[in-house]
Structures are given as C-alpha cells and as structure tokens.
C-alpha cells in the first residue's frame, strides 16, 4: 500500500514538470513572435513607490465612470450585451455594484470569467 501511495505521489509531482516542458516545447505562433519582437526593445521605466501605491489602491467610482465614458457609442463591451448608453443611463443605479464588483476582483486578484470576456464587434 505504501508503495502505491509513493508511486502516485511521485507521478503527481512529475506532472507539473512534464507539463512545463511540454508547454516550453510548443513553438511560438507568428502573433506571439511579433509581440515579442515589438516589446523586446521597449525601455519601460519602473513606477516610483508613489506610483505603485497609487496603482494598488481600490478603484474609485469616478475612475469607473471615466472608463464607461471611454466606450465606443453603440458597442457592447462585454458578453452581457449592454451598451455604453445603457451604462451611462443607469450609472447612478449601477455604480455601487460596479464599484464593489471590480474592487472585490482586484482584492482577490482575478475577475470572474464573465468579466474577463469581451465581445469583438
């Protein structure tokens, strides 16, 4: 029984290593190569401590409102199919829920799947 446990434990430990090796062996797509070529020579400065602190703060309602205003007219930014005009019309009603939702996702480090999806139209 102990042998079986050790065998499966060793297999379990080996899976991530084999997976990483497999992923590393997949050739880059042309799009990935193009992106890497575009970004490799960029000289980006590191944010200052003050900038880092500012970037790590919760979003404000005003920032969310500015993003909504930046959407294109008659476009739906997400899979819910609500347009910019919908969000602008009902912003006063939606603002607290949007604020809570986005800041909760920020604190957890991940958006819900539906929040990560966009619609290209």
Spatial distance between the Cα atoms of 51 and 119, rounded to a whole number of angstroms: 31
pLDDT of the residue at 92 = 95
Tokens of 111: 């958006």
- Integer Cα distance of 47 and 53 in angstroms: 9
Handedness of CA 6, 12, 13, 14 (dihedral sign): positive
Running DSSP on this structure, what letter comes out for residue 44? P
Tokens of 46: 């590191």
pLDDT of residue 17: 64
Residue 81's pLDDT is what? 82
Question: Do residues 48 and 93 touch, judged by C-beta distance below 8 A?
Answer: no
Predicted local confidence at residue 4, as pLDDT: 41
Q: How far is CA 117 from CA 24, 77, 85, 86, in A?
A: 26, 9, 19, 18
Domain boundaries, the chain: 2-40, 49-116
99 within 8 A of 64, measured Cβ to Cβ? yes
The per-residue pLDDT string of the chain (121 residues; one tens digit each, 9 = 90 and over) reads 444 444 444 444 555 666 667 666 777 777 677 777 777 777 878 889 999 888 888 889 999 899 889 988 887 777 778 888 999 999 999 999 989 988 888 888 877 777 666 655 5
């Amino acid at each position: 029984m102990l042998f079986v446990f050790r065998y499966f434990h060793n297999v379990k430990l080996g899976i991530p290593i084999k997976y990483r090796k497999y992923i590393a062996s997949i050739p880059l797509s042309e799009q990935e190569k193009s992106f890497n070529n575009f970004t490799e020579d960029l000289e980006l400065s590191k944010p200052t401590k003050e900038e880092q602190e500012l970037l790590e703060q919760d979003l404000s309602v005003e920032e969310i409102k500015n993003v909504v205003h930046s959407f294109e007219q008659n476009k739906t930014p997400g899979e819910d199919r609500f347009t910019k005009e919908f969000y602008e019309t009902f912003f006063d009603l939606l603002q607290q829920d949007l604020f809570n939702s986005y800041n909760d996702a920020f604190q957890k480090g991940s958006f819900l799947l539906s929040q990560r999806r966009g619609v290209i139209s």
